[in-house]
Amino acid sequence: MPPLLEVDGLQTQFVTGTGTVRAVDGVSFAIERGEVLGLVGESGCGKSVTSLSIMRLVPPPGRIAAGHIRLEGEDLLAKDAEAMRQVRGARIGMVFQEPMTSLNPVFSIGDQIASAALAHGGGGRAAAWERAVEMLQLVQVPSPGERVRDYPHQLSGGLRQRAMLALALVSGPRLLIADEPTTALDVTIQAQILDLLRRLQAERGMSVLMITHDLGVVAELCHRVAVIYAGRIVEMAPVARIFARPMHPYTQGLLRCLPHPSRFGQPLFSIEGVPPDLRRPPAGCRFAPRCPHVIESCRRAEPPLGEREPGHLVACPVLP
Amino acid sequence: MTDAATLATALPVRSRARRRVSFRAVFGITVLLAMGGAALLAPQLAPWDPARQMLLKRLRPPAWEARGLREHPLGTDHLGRDILSRILYGGRISLAVSLSSVALAATLGVTLGLCAGFFGGRADAIIMRVVDVFLAIPYILLAMGVVFALGPSLLNVILVMGATRWVQFARIVRADVLSIREREFVVGARARGNRALRLLVRHVLPNALTPIIVVATLELAFMIIYESALSFLGLGVQPPTPTWGWMLADGRNYIATAWWLATFPGLAIMLTVLAVNLLGDWLRDRLDPRLTV
Amino acid sequence: MTSSPLLEVRGLAKRFEAGGGWLGRRRRVIRAVDGVTFALQPGETLGLVGESGCGKSTTGRLILRLIEPSAGQIRLEGRDLLALAPRELWAVRRRMQIVFQDPFGSLNPRMRVGRIIAEPLAIYDQADAAGRRRRVGELLELVGLEPAFAERYPHELSGGQRQRIGIAAALALEPALIVADEPVSALDVSVQAQVLNLLMDLRRRLGLTYLFISHDLHVVLHMSDRVAVMYLGEIVEIGPRDALLHEPRHPYTRGLLSAVPVADPTLRRERIVPIGEVASPLAMPSGCRFHPRCPFVMDRCRVEAPAPREVGAGHLAACHLLE
């Protein structure tokens, strides 16, 4: 069975007055059916642009410059606008970070969910409305029959995010792309949403691409994780492996600079320096200027993503 | 701190992007300098006394037309007065009046707007009620009333115009200040010892400059036309002192037969307003360090 | 070991009026901070943690009298801050400073960074220009930046660099107390580590006392000696860091601890996630404010607000379950 989603050598660039920003520069990964893949990195690393590229929603002046994206074997980049519209919602659902701006403030959440149901499933208005209530129940919104008439501003952050999930899932997509869905939420609400996501994913056998900067969220929710830095994947492995034995110096740095109960109060390890300017990425390994293990050859050639151990890919020749 | 000069703390490179000379700035400054220079040097530049009536040469078209005369490049009006000279002398009044009244309106309006927005409470309520009153009365009526009471003179015109248009500044500034005062850098400045006056002048006002400049340029344009309107109604500077407004008023009756009476002062007004607007845009951007540095 | 506390806060409260209320109808009141009491010893770091709407940021600003309290007492170095005349308050401000969350909004975009740092010196010490420049250079070095930064505008700097400027400005007058209001929340994880290290380093070198406010529990636990947990305007639990980490007593504290995602998939934790949403401060629950969300709620909790009781050395929690 081919993977549900295959991304192959994706390159997405932004043409600006000061140069072309190579935001995503050769990213490849696959998501199997029923799998949760985490895409983790800091700001500017290209993780959000990757998700937008898959949905072909990259805003101008951005454009997909190269690569392939295959959903259930079909090439998404070859589809025209109408076909892509069918894909979005029906086959790929998306949930964003800030539900206040991704939900239309002038329509009730019921209206929005029902519209999505109608657009992708047909049937009548009444049936669509019922679907909306069902979905709200699925995402555990209390009193869904009443809440369905609420407007986004009447809901708290957690409820809005649940409404977003309902909207994303109403047409039964096989793949859910979640871009920092819990970052703007309080931590106890975040825990609820993560629990909900985990449950829904298991029940529906859905694949999830989870984009986040929070390694804790990755540990809670994902099966596999890809670490992305300066537009490239530097390490990809099952979650247990990557936390137990991170192999790329960037991944190691990220894990070590987090406050952890075992070392509260002690100076934190910090990764020196700043990410490179993606208009002029350095030759060779992009992490080299900041890497504590750098050797001469690192600066000359970009290390390929190689399989160090079964299932564990790393783009670094230095570590054993 | 490790001295491995962590790149995170490295001084950011200033991209010395070659600053293309701004067309707006050049145009604006050139035109205004020309206007200002012409106004100042009117006695030297004007070929004729602007009040001198030469009735034998009434309604002569500009020199390049068939009946035009070389000694009157822009023609003559219905009383035989030289249009060019009147434009030069008229510019003095129009520019002086509009600049002064904008300065007055801005000073009054910005001060009151700052107080209303920053202090809130009673001060805000009182000031805003006064603003409402001023806005409710049509400014021409107000101007008419005041000029009628005080008598038409250059100073009174400036006072009236300044005292009716301050509300535009006050409202805009107050709105901006309401949001600026909540920003964290203002709170931080308070924590570091700034008291009200210093906060207003050093922190709030510089960040409210953008709307002030925009309103000022719009108001300058407006004042020129406002003065024309007042002159047109007979409330402004009295004849025979020419102003562009008077010339428009006089020329109104001759639009069909002697277009040059109204057209040239109209062009002068238009050029000045255009130059002021462009210059204002440029100045607004120039003063914002986020755009220039 | 009772040296007198640097900061003593008793029954601090702030009420905001929220719309409504005309023709005799009563205005709705938001009790953003409702009876907060704690003390800070010199050199200590007290962490203030809680979710949105708990009142922690408001508490920080109340202490500095950047917002006027509705009730309560604040004593800084023994002086009653609420009894001070404006001139005296102005003089005391140099003893207490604040660092903000938003590196984009906390610096005046129209002022060069050096002037921002030098301003408090100009206002208070009247030092000459050369002296101020020297001091600005010292402060920049103290926060790990080159003196040449003084000529830059805030928008030219990265988020981490802006935070360092904010810290330098706060240190200019050599305060005793610094209120850090979410100082690293807007920063990337790797930059966050750098700034936290800087704050710890400065604390050690300058003998600073911090009130460290954050919604990020791990960051708070990392930086603090003692931690206070706030919910809907009240402190529900307060105690030494290790006590709260290993023996949390209040259900909300336990909920917070279990909800924070930990970057360690092998950690099996007891999951006590509070139910439902944080209540709106406009519709404050009766009795214990946490009762609608508490997995252990009893009848008593709905009617009677629990009083804080001692559950360990310097460790208090307000919960009926503890009896």
Residue B193: which of C120, C152, C166 has the nearest Cβ?
C120
| Alpha carbon distances (Å) from C25 to C19, C21, C56, C285 | 11, 5, 30, 21
d(C-alpha B210, C-alpha C316), whole Å: 52
Direct distance between the N- and C-terminal alpha carbons of chain B, in angstroms, rounded to an integer: 30
Q: Interface partners of B (3+ CB pairs, < 8 Å)?
A: A, C
- Collapsing DSSP to helix, strand or coil, B139 comes out as helix
Helix axes A157-169, A109-121, angle to 10 degrees: 10
Give chain C's radius of gyration (CA, Å).
Answer: 21
Closest by CA to C260, choosing from A182, A190, A263, is A190
Model confidence at C236: pLDDT above 80: yes
DSSP-assigned letter for residue A246 = -
Q: Inter-chain contact A243–C266, Cβ cutoff 8 Å?
A: yes
Task: Decide the pairing of beta strands A306-309 and C28-40.
Answer: unpaired
Residue A274's closest chain B neighbor by CA?
B8
pLDDT 10s digits, A145-192: 999 999 998 888 889 999 999 999 998 899 999 999 998 888 989 999
d(C-alpha C234, C-alpha C238), whole Å: 11
Contact C266, C89 (CB under 8 A): no
Please tell me the least confidently modeled range out of A106-110, A119-123, A137-141, B86-90: A119-123
Size of interface A-C (CB pairs under 8 A): 114
More confidently predicted of C240 and B182: C240
Contact A133, A144 (CB under 8 A): yes
Contact A206, A177 (CB under 8 A): no
Residue of C54, C190, C271 to mutate when probing chain A, most A C-beta within 10 A: C190
The answer, for C266 touching chain A at a CB cutoff of 8 Å, is yes
d(C-alpha B245, C-alpha B228), whole Å: 3
Output b/e per residue, A176-185; b: 16+ Cβ within 10 A: bbbbbbbebb
- Per-residue pLDDT band at C20 (split at 50, 70, 90): low
Give chain B's radius of gyration (CA, Å).
Answer: 24
Q: Which residues in chain B are closer than 8 Å to A274, comparing Cβ atoms?
A: 7-8, 10
Q: Which residues in chain C are closer than 8 Å to A192, comparing Cβ atoms?
A: 273
Residue A188: which of C218, C262, C274 has the nearest Cβ?
C274
Q: Report the side by side order of strands in the sheet with A5-16.
A: A19-31, A5-16, A62-71, A74-75
Mean pLDDT score across all residues of chain A: 90
| Alpha carbon distances (Å) from A169 to A89, A118, A174, A206 | 8, 13, 9, 10
More confidently predicted of B7 and A297: A297
Question: Chain B closest CA to C288's CA: distance in Å?
Answer: 33
Closest by CA to A235, choosing from A39, A11, A31, A23, is A39
pLDDT 10s digits, A255-300: 999 998 888 989 998 888 888 888 888 888 999 888 888 888 888 8
Give Cα A232 to chain centroid, integer Å. Answer: 14
Tell me the one-letter amino acid at C112.
R
Contact residues, B window 154-213, toward C, CB-based 8 Å cutoff? 183-185, 187-195, 198, 202-203, 206-207
Residue C200's closest chain A neighbor by CA?
A267
- Per-residue pLDDT band at C71 (split at 50, 70, 90): very high
More confidently predicted of C263 and C270: C263
Model confidence at B1: pLDDT above 80: no
Tell me the one-letter amino acid at B195.
R
Instruction: Express as a percent the part of chain C with pLDDT over 70.
Output: 95
The answer, for A274 touching chain B at a CB cutoff of 8 Å, is yes
Contact B157, B97 (CB under 8 A): yes
Question: Chain B closest CA to A155's CA: distance in Å?
Answer: 26
Instruction: Express as a percent the part of chain B with pLDDT over 70.
Output: 94
d(C-alpha B242, C-alpha B129), whole Å: 38
Model confidence at C79: pLDDT above 70: yes
pLDDT 10s digits, B172-228: 999 999 999 989 999 999 999 999 999 999 999 999 998 998 899 888 878 887 887
pLDDT of residue B293: 61
Closest by CA to B115, choosing from B200, B186, B176, is B200
Instruction: Using alpha carbons only, give the angle C100, C105, C111 rounded to the nearest 5 degrees.
Output: 105
Q: Which residues in chain B are closer than 8 Å to A290, comparing Cβ atoms?
A: 7
B132 token code pair: 């409402």
Instruction: Express as a percent the part of chain B with pLDDT over 90.
Output: 25
d(C-alpha A27, C-alpha A219), whole Å: 22
Q: Is B232 exposed, middle or buried (0-12, 13-18, 19+ CB in 10 A)?
A: middle
pTM assigned to the model = 0.86
List, in order, residues 6 or more apart from B111 with CB less than 8 Å away. none
Q: Inter-chain contact B190–C61, Cβ cutoff 8 Å?
A: no
* Count of Cβ atoms closer than 10 Å to residue C114 Cβ: 22
- Per-residue pLDDT band at C265 (split at 50, 70, 90): confident
DSSP-assigned letter for residue B204 = I
Direct distance between the N- and C-terminal alpha carbons of chain C, in angstroms, rounded to an integer: 29
The answer, for B121 touching chain C at a CB cutoff of 8 Å, is no
pLDDT of residue B3: 30
pLDDT 10s digits, C161-192: 999 999 999 999 999 999 999 999 888 888 99
Q: Which residues in chain A are closer than 8 Å to B8, comparing Cβ atoms?
A: 272-274
Residue B12: which of C61, C157, C194 has the nearest Cβ?
C157
Model confidence at C92: pLDDT above 70: yes
Q: Interface partners of C (3+ CB pairs, < 8 Å)?
A: A, B
pLDDT 10s digits, B34-71: 888 888 888 888 888 888 888 888 888 888 888 888 88
d(C-alpha C61, C-alpha C138), whole Å: 28
| φ and ψ at residue B72, rounded to 5 degrees | -125, 85
Model confidence at B15: pLDDT above 80: no
DSSP-assigned letter for residue B11 = P
d(C-alpha A203, C-alpha A122), whole Å: 24
- Per-residue pLDDT band at C25 (split at 50, 70, 90): low
Helix (H) or strand (E) segment spanning residue C231: strand C226-231
Mean pLDDT score across all residues of chain B: 85
Contact B119, B126 (CB under 8 A): no
Model confidence at C57: pLDDT above 70: yes
d(C-alpha A260, C-alpha A38), whole Å: 21
d(C-alpha A184, C-alpha A157), whole Å: 8
d(C-alpha A24, C-alpha A278), whole Å: 9
Q: Inter-chain contact B7–A18, Cβ cutoff 8 Å?
A: no
Residues in chain B: 293
Max CA pair span of chain A: 67
Instruction: Report, as an integer, the average pLDDT of A210-238.
Output: 94
- Per-residue pLDDT band at B242 (split at 50, 70, 90): confident
* Count of Cβ atoms closer than 10 Å to residue A85 Cβ: 14
ipTM of the complex: 0.86
CA-CA-CA-CA torsion sign (A245, A251, A256, A258): negative
Q: Inter-chain contact C278–A156, Cβ cutoff 8 Å?
A: yes
B248 token code pair: 């428009």
Q: Inter-chain contact B8–A289, Cβ cutoff 8 Å?
A: no
The answer, for C126 touching chain A at a CB cutoff of 8 Å, is no
pLDDT of residue B252: 85
d(C-alpha C101, C-alpha C64), whole Å: 16
Contact A150, A158 (CB under 8 A): no
pLDDT 10s digits, C132-150: 999 999 999 999 999 999 9
Give Cα B173 to chain centroid, integer Å. Answer: 17
Model confidence at C75: pLDDT above 60: yes
Residues in chain A: 320
pLDDT of residue B274: 86
**Which residues of chain C form beta strands (DSSP E)?**
7-18, 28-40, 45-49, 71-76, 79-80, 96-99, 177-181, 209-214, 226-231, 234-240, 309-312, 315-317
Q: Inter-chain contact C155–B289, Cβ cutoff 8 Å?
A: yes
Model confidence at B165: pLDDT above 70: yes
Q: Inter-chain contact C259–A255, Cβ cutoff 8 Å?
A: no
Question: Chain B closest CA to A290's CA: distance in Å?
Answer: 8
Question: Chain A closest CA to C91's CA: distance in Å?
Answer: 34
CA-CA-CA-CA torsion sign (A264, A269, A274, A275): negative
pLDDT of residue B4: 32
Tell me the one-letter amino acid at B16.
R
pLDDT of residue C24: 53
Instruction: Report, as an integer, the average pLDDT of C244-254.
Output: 93
The answer, for C153 touching chain B at a CB cutoff of 8 Å, is yes
List, in order, residues 6 or more apart from C125 with CB less than 8 Å away. none
Q: Which of A7-16, B149-158, B217-226, C277-286 has the highest mean pLDDT?
A: A7-16
The answer, for A262 touching chain B at a CB cutoff of 8 Å, is no
Residue A292's closest chain B neighbor by CA?
B4
d(C-alpha C178, C-alpha C175), whole Å: 7
Tell me the H-state helices in C73-231: 86-92, 113-124, 129-142, 159-171, 189-206, 217-223
The answer, for B293 touching chain C at a CB cutoff of 8 Å, is yes
d(C-alpha C147, C-alpha C132), whole Å: 12
Q: Which residues in chain C are closer than 8 Å to B8, comparing Cβ atoms?
A: 158, 160-161, 191, 194
Instruction: Express as a percent the part of chain A with pLDDT over 90.
Output: 58
pLDDT of residue B44: 84
Helix (H) or strand (E) segment spanning residue C122: helix C113-124
- Per-residue pLDDT band at B5 (split at 50, 70, 90): very low
The answer, for B8 touching chain A at a CB cutoff of 8 Å, is yes
Closest by CA to A198, choosing from A137, A139, A131, is A139
